[in-house]
Amino acid sequence: MTYTIQDIARILQVETDSTPPVIIQYLLTDSRKIVFPEHSLFFAIGGPRRDGHDFIREVYERGVRCFVVREGFDVSGFPGALFLKVQVVLKALQLLAKHHRNQFQIPVIGITGSNGKTIVKEWLYQLLQKDYQIIRSPRSYNSQIGVPLSVWQMNETHTLAIFEAGISTAGEMSALAAIIQPTIGVFTNLGEAHNPGFKDQQQKAIEKSQLFTNADTLVYAKDGLQNHLFPEGRDRQLFPVNAQMVSWSREEGATLLVKEEKKASLQTQVSLCYQSQNFTLTIPFTDRISIDNSLTCCTVMLAMGYSISVIQERLQVLEPVDMRMQLKKAINNCYLINDSYSNDLVSLTLALDFLQQQAGKQKTTLILSDVPESGLSEDVLYREIAKQVTERGIRRFIGIGPSMIRHQNLFAEEAPDLDARFYPSTENFLADINSQSFRDEYILVKGARVFSFERISVWLEQKVHQTVMEINVSAMVHNLKEYQNRLAPSTRLMAMVKAFSYGSGSAEIARILQFHKVDYLAVAYADEGVELRKAGISLPIMVMNMEEAGFDSLVSYDLEPEIYSFPIYTAFHHYLDQQGIQQFPVHIKINTGMNRLGFEPEDVVQLSGMLRAHQTMAVKTVFSHLVASESAEQDGFTQHQVGLFRQACTELENRLGYNFIKHIANTAAIHRNPEYQFDMVRLGIGLYGVDVAEGKGMQLETVATLKSTIAQLRKVKAGETIGYGRKGVVLKDSLIATVRIGYADGFSRKLGLGRGKMYVQGKLAPVIGQVCMDMTMLDVTGIPDLKEGGIVEIFGKNLPIEQVAAWSETIAYEVMTGISQRVKRVYLEE
């Protein structure tokens, strides 16, 4: 289905000129994700912190000529551009998507719930793809913006659509319901997510259920939902009178009754009853969440008329859904992005976005398998892929599979300068390459499961140590937005990436922060800033601990030093004067009570005189460091610090005759002391999911998860001892697990002798004996289903880092920054 910009103007009921029609294929809301500018329409959506109108110049310069903007926006200065002016840009996007959805009469499954939406969507795709040509939401595109972008992907080849809808506050679902218009509704469950946006659980259930007000069928998990969806006195009035209600439950009264569950090592046998017919399902998972999601999928298939035998056959081969792209260090200074989530055009676009975000200006390689069942003819499909590769500036392309071989000529036509190679199978590729084939580049590996691309990933990875720290990029972005939402629109944000980004990886984290448009970065020493510049980071960078040995690096790499004393000021002034440099940007530190670094407030008069006289430096910002902003008990001292800081800034500004950025609020103060935001705030450990403020209150997500594996399981008799010094005495016959982590990895010796624990198979297992350099022993007696090679969590979602810090008699900062560099960092994008 083709739209011109004039067609879209008519749909939105706005005027446009009669210029030659422009075909619109792509809808954009993000200035960083432009691939085909000549066929793109940019919606300048405003948000709490960013306004799309501020990026129109950037988007225009990158070739986009069609825009939807708010009424009153000044469109002068954009020759050749077409602007559709509307009252609310987001509503215009949703209206266009609603119109597009109305062009199709195919069945549409709409999914909502507190958890499990994406898993259920992906499993339904696995279960139904043999019978339908399916369009589905990419990853978790379920928001007010994500839903219309998902629905826009519908075309004439599709025979079934599966979309998910997520909301965070009352009043949001009606817009999504009008866009999705599901014929089959799926309500997964009702949990604690987004509770602050609703009066109570019932209001949240009723709001979410608005997605189904015109559905023909509603599938839901009765346990925990029945009383909310059908409160006394309401009965079915929330839903169409003739709607088919299909539920599953572990209690009587549901359409599908769970009678018994028997778990084995890798699967669960579930005995069920449906319409008086008893049958058994084999589900290839043992955890409760996966079983519940599988039963929801089973109920959907029953509601769609599938036979029990087909459901039994397909559910037993369900594959786990890894919703995360992984960024890992690889051979020869390469980085590997492994995306095994799915292999279609939409997910390829998202993976290429992540590749560009991480690689910056570094060389890039795409290893791609045949793309199965796209709904497009193969010529159209592979020509589109070739165009994507060209527009993205991919340096090298490796295509694997018989379809790739058949269509390699299309890549030569669309990308004549591309280094492209093609192989009929993964085996042929692995036989042809050697360890020198890849060097100093970013490699995206994306393949359909049948091609077993995990062998390519294993070959490319540097597998030297089974202890890894997973950094959840999506959680970090969530935390960033949580803090940004607390800021006034004009308040800038400086992100602290010192100490290897609190142990998380400097360059990798900085790229993410740059992509999400933070205003400043801060590092501890000049060499950290140099590393970021070499990695392609262009954001302004403040260096907090300047040394004379680093002066050359500061100037050569455009790093901005903190000036905290007269001796360091004088030394840097002499260096700049010798180099003939004037107005070099610097940051002035004022000591207001930390008594660590900084000028005293009374030094401002002398300092301002030197700055005016010398003119070698220009003050970019002035800042101070709060001592105890996390503590209510110290609020009086915090207020005292702010008063000193404000006086010093006023004095300095008056004497210099120009304005500068002021900042004193740290992570805790952003939340607890919003009145102290000034012009900028500094966000540190909160970015990584640790809320240090008393009373908490921030909805932060865990970013770092430290994992290792069990090297050996050993049965030990009562009276025997474990480890050095015979300190760990076994009081009864026990099972001991030796885990591949020790104090050389950053696991503190203070955690030995039972003080520390690790999370194993849903249980906390205490450390027994002393912590060794490379190994730690756990008492895992009574924990079922253990095996050598099994995963152990040292800290993460199940075992908070704050708890590990408490056991270690320290703070989360020290635990994070103390993780050794030999522990590989793996970056996950959900």
Q: Checking DSSP bridges between strand 763-766 and strand 757-760, what pairing results, if any?
A: antiparallel
Pick the residue with more confidence: 226 or 405? Answer: 405
* Mean pLDDT (the chain, rounded): 90
CA distance 64 to 59: 6
Model confidence at 558: pLDDT above 90 = yes
The arithmetic mean of pLDDT across residues 512-541, rounded, is 90
Model confidence at 234: pLDDT above 50 = no
Question: How sure is the predictor about 502, in pLDDT bands with cuts at 50, 70 and 90?
Answer: low
* CA neighbor of 202 nearest in space, from 170, 162, 173, 176: 170
* CA neighbor of 698 nearest in space, from 664, 669, 663, 665: 669
Q: If residue 186 lies in a helix (H) or strand (E), which one and from where to where?
A: strand 184-187
The reported pLDDT for the residue numbered 829 is 79
The proportion of the chain whose per-residue pLDDT surpasses 70, expressed as a percent, equals 94
Q: What is the pLDDT of residues 587-638, one digit of tens each?
A: 999 999 999 999 999 999 999 999 999 999 999 999 999 999 999 999 999 9
Pick the residue with more confidence: 377 or 187? Answer: 187
Reduce the DSSP state of residue 138 to 3 states and report it.
coil
Q: What is the pLDDT of residues 288-343, one digit of tens each?
A: 889 999 999 999 999 999 999 999 999 999 988 766 677 888 888 899 998 865 67
Question: How sure is the predictor about 195, in pLDDT bands with cuts at 50, 70 and 90?
Answer: low
The reported pLDDT for the residue numbered 345 is 78
The reported pLDDT for the residue numbered 235 is 44
The reported pLDDT for the residue numbered 560 is 96
What residues form DSSP beta bridges with 269? 262, 282
Reduce the DSSP state of residue 693 to 3 states and report it.
coil
Q: What is the pLDDT of residues 560-586, one digit of tens each?
A: 999 999 999 999 999 999 999 999 999
The arithmetic mean of pLDDT across residues 225-229, rounded, is 64
Instruction: Output DSSP code: residue 210.
Output: G
Question: How sure is the predictor about 462, in pLDDT bands with cuts at 50, 70 and 90?
Answer: low
Model confidence at 194: pLDDT above 70 = no
Model confidence at 229: pLDDT above 80 = no
HEC profile for 762-826? CEEEEECCCCCCCCEEEECCCCCCCCCCCEEEEECCCCCHHHHHHHCCCCHHHHHHCCCCCCEEE
Instruction: Output DSSP code: residue 265.
Output: S
The proportion of the chain whose per-residue pLDDT surpasses 90, expressed as a percent, equals 66
Residue 479 burial class via C-beta count within 10 angstroms: exposed 0-12, middle 13-18, buried 19 and up: buried
CA distance 207 to 202: 8
Reduce the DSSP state of residue 521 to 3 states and report it.
strand
The reported pLDDT for the residue numbered 694 is 75
Model confidence at 209: pLDDT above 60 = yes
Model confidence at 456: pLDDT above 80 = yes
Reduce the DSSP state of residue 295 to 3 states and report it.
helix
Q: If residue 562 lies in a helix (H) or strand (E), which one and from where to where?
A: strand 560-563
Q: Are the CB atoms for 483 and 359 separated by under 8 Å?
A: no
For 299, half-sphere exposure in the C-beta direction (CA atoms, 13 angstrom radius) is 31
The arithmetic mean of pLDDT across residues 206-214, rounded, is 89
Counts for the chain of helices (H) and strands (E), in that order? 27, 39
The reported pLDDT for the residue numbered 373 is 64
Question: How sure is the predictor about 759, in pLDDT bands with cuts at 50, 70 and 90?
Answer: very high
For 580, half-sphere exposure in the C-beta direction (CA atoms, 13 angstrom radius) is 0
Dihedrals phi, psi of 376, to nearest 5 degrees: -100, 160
User: Could you identify the residue written with the tokens 């400086």?
Assistant: 494
User: Catalytic site residues?
Assistant: 498, 724
For 39, half-sphere exposure in the C-beta direction (CA atoms, 13 angstrom radius) is 10
> 287-291, 504-508, 742-746: which has the minimum mean pLDDT?
504-508
Give the angle subtended at the CA of 114 by the CAs of 113 and 119, to the nearest 5°. Answer: 75
Residue type at position 806 = A
HEC profile for 83-111? EEEECCHHHHHHHHHHHHHCCCCCCEEEE
Dihedrals phi, psi of 607, to nearest 5 degrees: -60, -45
The reported pLDDT for the residue numbered 673 is 92
Q: What is the pLDDT of residues 118-137, one digit of tens each?
A: 899 999 999 999 999 999 99
> 157-161, 346-350, 410-414: which has the minimum mean pLDDT?
346-350
Question: How sure is the predictor about 354, in pLDDT bands with cuts at 50, 70 and 90?
Answer: confident
The reported pLDDT for the residue numbered 607 is 97
User: Could you identify the residue written with the tokens 């980004």?
Assistant: 501
Question: How sure is the predictor about 375, in pLDDT bands with cuts at 50, 70 and 90?
Answer: low
Strands, E, within 242-333: which ranges? 244-249, 256-263, 268-274, 277-283, 325-330
Question: How sure is the predictor about 501, in pLDDT bands with cuts at 50, 70 and 90?
Answer: low
The reported pLDDT for the residue numbered 233 is 44
Q: If residue 730 lies in a helix (H) or strand (E), which one and from where to where?
A: none
Question: Which residues have a Cβ under 8 Å from the Cβ of 571 and sit 6 or more positions away?
Answer: 548, 551
Model confidence at 486: pLDDT above 70 = yes
Question: Which residues have a Cβ under 8 Å from the Cβ of 574 and sit 6 or more positions away?
Answer: none
Report how far apart, in Å, the C-alpha atoms of 732 and of each of 251, 724, 785 are: 41, 19, 20
Pick the residue with more confidence: 800 or 230? Answer: 800
The reported pLDDT for the residue numbered 372 is 78
Q: If residue 489 lies in a helix (H) or strand (E), which one and from where to where?
A: none
Q: If residue 204 lies in a helix (H) or strand (E), which one and from where to where?
A: helix 201-209
Question: How sure is the predictor about 779, in pLDDT bands with cuts at 50, 70 and 90?
Answer: very high
Task: Tell me the two tokens of residue 431.
Answer: 């036989």
The reported pLDDT for the residue numbered 59 is 94
The arithmetic mean of pLDDT across residues 72-80, rounded, is 93
CA distance 75 to 72: 9
Question: How sure is the predictor about 378, in pLDDT bands with cuts at 50, 70 and 90?
Answer: confident
The arithmetic mean of pLDDT across residues 397-417, rounded, is 92
Reduce the DSSP state of residue 564 to 3 states and report it.
coil
Residues comprising the chain, all counted: 830
Task: Tell me the two tokens of residue 608.
Answer: 């301002």
Dihedrals phi, psi of 462, to nearest 5 degrees: -95, 90
Reduce the DSSP state of residue 614 to 3 states and report it.
helix
The reported pLDDT for the residue numbered 192 is 66
Q: What is the pLDDT of residues 682-725, one digit of tens each?
A: 999 999 998 888 777 788 999 999 999 999 999 999 999 999 99
The reported pLDDT for the residue numbered 340 is 63
CA distance 821 to 506: 12
> 14-18, 408-412, 618-622: which has the minimum mean pLDDT?
14-18
CA distance 176 to 774: 52
